Structures are given as structure tokens and as C-alpha cells.
Amino acid sequence: MKTLTDEQKKLLMDSIRDIPDFPKPGILFKDITTLLNNPEAFNLLMDHLTARYDEMNLDYIAGIESRGFIFGAALAAKLGIGFVPVRKQGKLPHTTIGEKYALEYGVDEIEIHIDAFNNKEGARVLLIDDLIATGGTAEAAAKLIRDAKAECVEACFIINLTFLSGTKKLEGLTPVYHILEVV
């Protein structure tokens, strides 16, 4: 189903557990492990994503470490296309390209393999992660896709913390789709 009803969205939202003050005081962590071990919710989500992206003529899905790997790899297998991991600095074994992004305190970096998209210029890539908060991680990932000369067709998030306006950082880089929002 390409469009989810309010009832289906509620089922998904209710399957995600809130953990207050994790990983530090003041953060309400959206724990998607309870969605993953709920077959009704996980299947509903994957059926929706498959219906949405089946006709977008994608070549690859790029998933952001680490929860983007779970949804991205499952969706890539459903769509019969390749999966590319976007990893924290220092984790990928072959030659990489990297992009730094700002954290609350300090800087972090994510990387992809230099040949992640098999040097296919203009490859159509869907970027996916479980959640967008400030948008810094997704912005860096979208820039990496661009630097690899591929096209980020859309960035997809299960949850958007809209009060942090993270999608603003993706303006001009990629269209954005989210399923659930926390206002």
C-alpha cells in the first residue's frame, strides 16, 4: 500500500518504544527494536516501503549506520537492488570517501567505499535511516552520494523529529520522505 491510513501509522508508532534520558539526560530515544520484533508492524512497514519505491527505478539503497542498515538491506532485497552501507569513520576496509558533520560537541565523520555504486555515474540512490533529528548525519550522507557522482533520489526516514527541523539541511540535496513524525 502506497499510502498508510492513520490507523496503520498508529500501529507503527505504537510499536516503537520511547526510552527517556537515553543516551543522555533530556533525550527521548525512539527505540525501533520493538518494531523489528513485531512481525505485524515490521511487515506493514516493509510492504509500504516496497510499494512506494518499487516504481522509482532505483539502482541502490544507501543505509546509514546502524539502524539504516536494517531497513535499507531488507528493502534492497525486496526490490532486488544493491545495498550500500554508510559507515562511521574507520569501519570500511577498502578505499573510502568521507564527509564530516557537526555534533552538539565536536565533529564526526561518515564514509562510503569509493566504488560503492560501482562507478555508475548518475546511479539512482535512495538514502534511508530510522530517524532524522538535527539532520546532520543525513546531510553528510547525501553529500557523500553526490560526491560519488550518484543521484540521491530521496531520503527516507521512519521517524522525523520535526521540532528539530532536520529536513532543512537536506534542502537542495534531496527530496525527503518520512512516515511518522514527532512534533
Residues near ligand AMP (CB under 6 A) are 27-30, 64, 67, 129-138, 166
Q: Are 109 and 139 in contact (CB under 8 A)?
A: no
For residue 60, give the amino acid letter.
Y
Instruction: Tell me how far, at minimum, the Cβ of 172 lies from ligand AMP, in Å.
Output: 17
Write the CA distances from 71 to 89, 90, 110, integer angstroms: 21, 23, 18
In the complex, least distance from residue 151 CB atom to ligand AMP, rounded to whole angstroms: 22
Minimum CB distance to ligand AMP, residue 118 (Å): 25
Which one of the listed residues 7, 55, 104, 121 is annotated catalytic?
104
Q: Whose Cβ is closer to ligand AMP: residue 13's or residue 120's? A: 13
Nearer to ligand AMP, 10 or 168 (CB): 168
Q: Which is nearer to ligand AMP, 26 or 80 (CB)?
A: 26
Looking at 7, 52, 55, 67, which residue is catalytic? Answer: 67
Alpha-helical (H) ranges within the chain are 6-15, 33-36, 39-53, 67-79, 136-147
Query: CA–CA separation, 89 vs 85, rounded Å?
Result: 12
Please say whether the dihedral angle defined by the alpha carbons of residues 111, 116, 122 and 126, taken in this order, is positive or negative: negative
**Alpha-carbon dihedral angle through residues 136, 139, 145, 146, given to the nearest 10 degrees:** -140
104 catalytic, yes or no?
Answer: yes
Q: CB-wise, 79 or 159, nearer to ligand AMP? A: 159
What is the CB neighbour count within 10 angstroms for residue 102? Answer: 12
> CB of residue 73 vs ligand AMP: minimum separation in angstroms?
15
Instruction: Please tell me whether residue 33 adopts helix, strand or coil conformation.
Output: helix
Catalytically active residues are 67, 104
